[in-house]
Amino acid sequence: MRLKEGQWERLERMARRLGRTPSETSVLLLEEALRTAEFGFIQFRDSAAGRQAYVLGTSLAVWEVALLARFFGGDAERLAEHLGWPPAKVRAALHYAEAYPEEIEAAIRDNEPALERLRRMLPGTESFVVEPR
């Protein structure tokens, strides 16, 4: 690739922040740009767990929407109503999750022990289930 003036320094800075080489970072950014162009309402952001796909204009990662969809039997319209979102945003997240199931399932697995970690930090923590409307 031919980079314009200043782009190499910006790429190196981002690579350092991500703990990757400039080459790895450029491949990552290219893949993210291709996925963003392919899937509406999807954007990539830095998070505590690394870069992840998020639903545009929301605070939810795609894996979180995919997990919530399970509680709604995969019904995108009901989940959209619950979240107060247009159904297209939920469907976009679910389409992305279908296209990249390994990525989404790994993120869900990585976050399953969160309640146990929270209970160790805050011993009085209790969990409960709220049934969807």
Tokens 């981002």, residue?
14
pLDDT tens column, 3-44? 999 999 999 999 999 999 999 999 999 999 999 999 999 999
Q: What is the pTM of this model?
A: 0.83
Three-class DSSP category at 81? helix
User: Does residue 129 register a pLDDT over 90?
Assistant: no
User: Does residue 101 register a pLDDT over 80?
Assistant: yes
Confidence of residue 132 (pLDDT cuts 50, 70, 90): low
What secondary structure does DSSP assign to 10-69, as a single string?
HHHHHHHHHTS-HHHHHHHHHHHHHHHHHSTTEEEEEETTEEEEEETTSS-BHHHHHHHH
Q: How many CB atoms lie within 10 A of CB 64?
A: 19
Across residues 80-104, what is the average pLDDT? 97
